[in-house]
């Protein structure tokens, strides 16, 4: 890249699902994207795996114009309280400003409750999980590992690699043969894909 990209903002909150965003953030960081964590406040949060995270920013201080992407991981709190509703509202702010949002697992239900999945193609864990939110977008549900519609990426909890793939495609981090090779390596353990990636690096 000829210019330093704007940061990617990773939402962090208590009970967040550790495994869902690691592929995306690791390779975005390698591609030159600064990763900034945003919590409900700047107080530490604890992931579902017991990792203690000190947020870089409070959510209120995150602005779409300063960001390349907002990532929303799953968390138990998406389904047990309204504590994370401000993150869904922030996603609306990003999408309204034309800045991408990527949501996985329980975060997709948060977006559904916010009305952000009513009019575009999307996916999640299973269709009836989103249907339970009472949202109006059931006819746009796609039974796929991950879905991109415009500036919005959605994925289910078992698809962190496909989730990352869609993010890379959207931001232009990997494209075409390289994107396919990255996915085949990390999703399918395809040794031939490693050779493609190594060749590109050289």
* Separation between Cα atoms, residue 147 and residue 179, nearest integer Å: 15
Alpha carbon of 71 to those of 1, 108, 169: distances in Å? 21, 11, 15
Per-residue pLDDT tens over the stretch 135-188:
999 999 999 999 999 999 999 999 999 999 999 999 999 999 999 999 999 999
Please answer whether residues 164 and 27 qualify as being in contact, where contact means their C-beta atoms are separated by less than 8 angstroms.
yes
pLDDT of residue 2: 53
* Separation between Cα atoms, residue 100 and residue 41, nearest integer Å: 22
pTM of the model: 0.96
pLDDT of residue 1: 45
Closest CA to 6 of 30, 43, 36: 36
Whether 108 shows a pLDDT value over 70: the answer reads yes
Per-residue tokens: 92: 């609306």
Banded pLDDT at 8 (limits 50, 70, 90)? very high
**Locus of tokens 């330093």:** 4
The domains found in the chain, sorted by start residue, are 8-171 (3.40.50.880), 175-202 (no CATH)
Which residues belong to the active site?
105
Return contacts of 184-189, CB within 8 angstroms, 24+ apart: 186/23, 186/161, 187/161, 187/162
Whether 3 shows a pLDDT value over 60: the answer reads yes
Instruction: Mention every residue, 6+ apart, whose C-beta is less than 8 A from residue 15.
Output: 46, 47, 48, 75, 76, 77
Decide the pairing of beta strands 146-149 and 152-155: antiparallel
């Amino acid at each position: 890249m000829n210019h330093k990209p704007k940061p990617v903002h990773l939402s962090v909150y208590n009970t967040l699902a550790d495994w869902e965003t690691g592929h995306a953030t690791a390779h975005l960081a390698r591609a030159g994207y600064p990763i900034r964590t945003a919590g409900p406040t700047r107080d530490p949060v604890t992931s579902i795996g017991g990792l203690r995270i000190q947020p870089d920013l409070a959510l209120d201080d995150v602005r779409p114009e300063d960001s390349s992407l907002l990532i929303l991981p799953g968390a138990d709190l998406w389904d047990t309280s309204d504590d994370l509703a401000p993150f869904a509202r922030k996603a609306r702010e990003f999408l309204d400003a034309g800045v991408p949002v990527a949501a996985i697992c329980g975060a997709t239900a948060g977006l559904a409750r916010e009305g952000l999945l009513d009019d575009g193609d999307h996916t999640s864990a299973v269709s009836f999980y989103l249907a339970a939110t009472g949202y109006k977008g059931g006819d746009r549900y796609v039974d796929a590992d991950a879905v991109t519609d415009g500036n919005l990426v959605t994925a289910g909890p078992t698809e962190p690699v496909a989730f990352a793939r869609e993010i890379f495609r959207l931001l232009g981090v990997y494209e075409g043969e390289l994107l396919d090779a990255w996915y085949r390596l990390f999703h399918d353990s395809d040794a031939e894909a490693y050779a493609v990636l190594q060749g590109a690096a050289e």
